[in-house]
Structure 1
Amino acid sequence: MRIDTFQIAIPDADIDDLRRRIRATRWAPATPSPAWQQGADTAWLRELAAYWADGFDWRAAERKLNAQPQYLAHVGGQRVHFVHRRGEGPAPYPLVVTHGWPGSFFEFHALLDHLCNPAAFGGDPADSFDVVAPSLPGFAFSPAPAQPGCSAFQVADLWASLMQGLGYERFGAQGGDLGAGMSVALAARHPQRVDGIHLNFLPSSYEPAIGADRQPLTPAEESYLRSKTEWATLEGGYAHLHGTKPLTLAASLNDSPVGLAAWIGEKFRAWSDCGGEIERLFSKDDLLTDISLYWYTQSIGPSIQMYWENRLQPMRFAANQRVVPPVGFASFPKEINHPPRSWLERTFDVQQWTEMPSGGHFAAMEQPALLAHEIRTFFRPLRHSVK
């Protein structure tokens, strides 16, 4: 496996083109509805767009991103962009963390500080991690796969090869959103190398075996499945479109920066613990750093392609199938779904379960200290497996 160092350097012409496109936006007519009821609020979007065109400093954001050690690996015919941050402690434990949509490797910017240098936050240096944070295929600086069929299971194989190429024979995995699916797939396909996985989200396509040979659904499980269906009806239109007509959507979002900001920004508001006020949790600079990564790399189309692939290869488990590596789960109150522990225990060995006091879908950005504490606690007894 070949590994090259990497630094982000967006051409000036691309920055100028983005500003020109924002200023030339043809704004959609307003509808007689309350703010946010039918999607991204126009007043908020106009304010964000004006700042993106005339206030946001991409070069400052680029310097912040480039402060993290970044690389490009050539793994099995696929190039993978990743951050590799070494821990500051006597024996850092290797951990691969995977982002989701509409996030990016930038999601982990604050979390990496807590995981790699716990002593800086009053923690024990013995709890430090070597963290590998790859960009999923088709996201940011990881090119889209050249061939179809790259679902969570194939990405798990890529991650296993990447970690081996970095010298980590055994390691842990952590993730939310799509990253939770990658972590589950890693544990299922590479149990001899994955010591354990920590999740802050359960993949929506996860289905344990249910039937005569399994325990009947509990009331809590029935309630969870009803809530999933209700949420999908009212809020899941984006995922259905991603999974069925990604190219149709990409044609619009790849051409309109304001359309892209609306599609992504609305999710940061709806799925987070921000109480309806986005900037209570996410500054304009941080939100636009994430959105700009999608824009400059033209990755919105390839990124939503992952939904198509995962729909074709859902995460279904047979009656006698168990995922061997232990699982830790942090349930954040404003997450988009809340499975009961028993639902996971049908397939997983759940060794840590925590009802979190605050936070939502973007836990690594919203509550990096709380999430880091949960990750450290879960992996502490597993560190002995690394030689």
Structure 2
Amino acid sequence: MKHVTEFKVAIPQPVVDDLKSRLKNTRWPGEAEGSGWNFGTSESYLRGLVNYWLTQYDWREQEAQLNKYPQYIADVHGVKVHFQYIKGTGKNAKPLILTHGWPDSYHRFHKIIPLLTQGEQSFDLVIPSIPGFGFSDKTPMTSEAVADLWKALMTENLGYDKFYAAGGDIGMGVTKALASKYAGVVAGVHFTDVGYPMGQEDPATMTEAEKQFAQFVQQWWYSEGAYAMVHATKPQSIAYGLNDSPAGLAAWVLSFANAGATPELIEPAFGGRDALLTNIMIYWVTQTVATSVRMYKAEAIAQWSGGQPLQKSTVPAGVSVFPREAQFPKEWAERFVNVTSFRKMKEGGHFAALEVPDAFAGELRTFFYSIQ
């Protein structure tokens, strides 16, 4: 490995003490009677979560779990990139880079690490933190720019001639850019989403299924998409509150999580209450929520500046559509990637690697080992 140093998570105790002080002193705004989750994050739910955070959640135990697998910091063209790197046990383990999204982190994939690194059909897993997130440099950039870093990380820092890639949410954009720009070294890609209609498509070219999908996305955008509009237009305005109040940060993350799940499924969708809080803690202890949301602004500026869209990739692509993810048809995916496998799953949602790790890991193994 070149320009790579070992890393361990070690948060100073004063940071943890300060967190607890802020949680204890949360100024609760009150909520409309009987509003539940209809106005945003339920205060009654959040009060219970904050109490658990204060009295039962153990950061040091979770920190030890984060340090269970090898972690590193790589200097990739001047950008410090944090990543987990776990070698597979198989003789011909396939190198696979997994990219998270927002409002999650590299912790999104912790449950599938043992599932994908054991046995003959195993993988050398590379799980980085996107710049601007977690323990990487606080350098928000576009998905395409992140793809450039990932290609360099895999080929220059880690020395692989070819590799595989998977991701959802923001990780989808990064993975799609990898396939489009670097088909010579990217051997296969996997997605759980492939992007959404934004009103720029010619209806005459869309199938009936695609039109129905576009209508669904438009309705979802009006009811649940405010977070993305804020991130893409006024990220600094929201950053002050999110960086100052852990309860406020949790409320903002939970508001998005609730968009894809009924209230009783929020914690399972994140892999459980501790996993949910650990994900939030990664933003809190690194103070990267501001730079994470600023990535949306970077993407918007790139789009507004009239840059050329990426060409459809020729790299073999597997697509797994989980039932609580937006249900796009195969022909929509085929507009962007070379779909060679398209499967509808029986359970799971936006954070499938956390919620249904066995099913998600199975999809990755089955697809990537079906291609060269």
Which TM class, normalised by the smaller chain length? Answer: over 0.9
Give the letter for the 1:155 counterpart.
V
Deviation string, structure 1 residues 340-378 (Cα, Å, up to 9, x no partner): 111121232110000000000001101111111111111
Q: Which of 164, 168, 175 is residue 183 of structure 1 equivalent to?
A: 175
Measure the CA separation in 2 of the matches of 1:365 and 1:306. Answer: 23
Measure the CA separation in 1 of the matches of 2:209 and 2:227. Answer: 27
Measure the CA separation in 2 of the matches of 1:205 and 1:80. Answer: 31
Deviation string, structure 1 residues 95-118 (Cα, Å, up to 9, x no partner): 00000001111110111111111x
Aligned to 2:354, the other structure's residue is in SS state helix
Query: Residue 258 of structure 1: CA displacement?
Result: 0.3
Query: Residue 275 of structure 1: CA displacement?
Result: 6.3
Give the letter for the 2:345 counterpart.
M
Measure the CA separation in 2 of the matches of 1:210 and 1:127. Answer: 43
- Does 1:365 pair with 2:342? no
CA 1:208–1:175: 2 relative to 1, 3 Å: farther
Measure the CA separation in 2 of the matches of 1:325 and 1:188. Answer: 8
Deviates more, 1:76-85 or 1:25-34: 25-34
Partner of 2:239: 250
Q: How many residues align?
A: 368
Give the letter for the 1:90 counterpart.
K
- Does 1:84 pair with 2:70? no
Give the letter for the 2:183 counterpart.
P
CA 1:314–1:320: 2 relative to 1, 3 Å: closer
Contact 1:156/1:186 (CA < 8 Å) preserved in 2?
Answer: yes
Deviation string, structure 1 residues 113-160 (Cα, Å, up to 9, x no partner): 11111xxxxxxx231000100000010001122xx7x20110000000
Contact 1:92/1:128 (CA < 8 Å) preserved in 2?
Answer: yes
- Does 1:344 pair with 2:321? no
- Does 1:152 pair with 2:148? no
CA 1:294–1:356: 2 relative to 1, 3 Å: same
- Does 1:201 pair with 2:201? no
Query: Residue 267 of structure 1: CA displacement?
Result: 2.5
Measure the CA separation in 2 of the matches of 1:134 and 1:233. Answer: 32
Measure the CA separation in 2 of the matches of 1:75 and 1:318. Answer: 25
Aligned to 2:85, the other structure's residue is in SS state strand
Deviation string, structure 1 residues 315-349 (Cα, Å, up to 9, x no partner): 999899431101110000101x2221111212321
- Does 1:326 pair with 2:320? no
Contact 2:323/2:348 (CA < 8 Å) preserved in 1?
Answer: yes
Measure the CA separation in 1 of the matches of 2:265 and 2:176. Answer: 32
Measure the CA separation in 2 of the matches of 1:381 and 1:359. Answer: 23
- Does 1:287 pair with 2:276? yes
Partner of 1:300: 289
Aligned to 2:244, the other structure's residue is in SS state coil
Give the letter for the 1:190 counterpart.
Y
Partner of 1:122: none
Give the letter for the 2:214 counterpart.
L
Deviates more, 1:157-166 or 1:26-35: 26-35
Deviates more, 1:258-267 or 1:197-206: 197-206
Partner of 1:30: 31
Partner of 1:355: 344
Q: Which of 216, 222, 229 is residue 227 of structure 1 equivalent to?
A: 216
Measure the CA separation in 2 of the matches of 1:279 and 1:153. Answer: 31
Measure the CA separation in 1 of the matches of 2:113 and 2:227. Answer: 30
Q: Which of 234, 252, 265 is residue 263 of structure 1 equivalent to?
A: 252
Give the letter for the 1:15 counterpart.
V
Query: Residue 50 of structure 1: CA displacement?
Result: 1.2
Aligned to 1:313, the other structure's residue is in SS state helix
Measure the CA separation in 2 of the matches of 1:266 and 1:234. Answer: 12
Query: Residue 309 of structure 1: CA displacement?
Result: 1.3
Measure the CA separation in 2 of the matches of 1:206 and 1:115. Answer: 35
Partner of 1:120: none
Partner of 2:184: 192
- Does 1:56 pair with 2:57? yes
- Pairwise CA RMSD: 2.1
TM-score, scaled to structure 2: 0.94
Structure 1: runs of 5+ lacking an equivalent:
118-124
TM-score, scaled to structure 1: 0.90
Query: Residue 236 of structure 1: CA displacement?
Result: 0.2
Contact 1:330/1:354 (CA < 8 Å) preserved in 2?
Answer: yes
Deviation string, structure 1 residues 4-30 (Cα, Å, up to 9, x no partner): 000000000000000001101110022
Measure the CA separation in 2 of the matches of 1:247 and 1:264. Answer: 16
| Percentage of identical aligned residues | 39
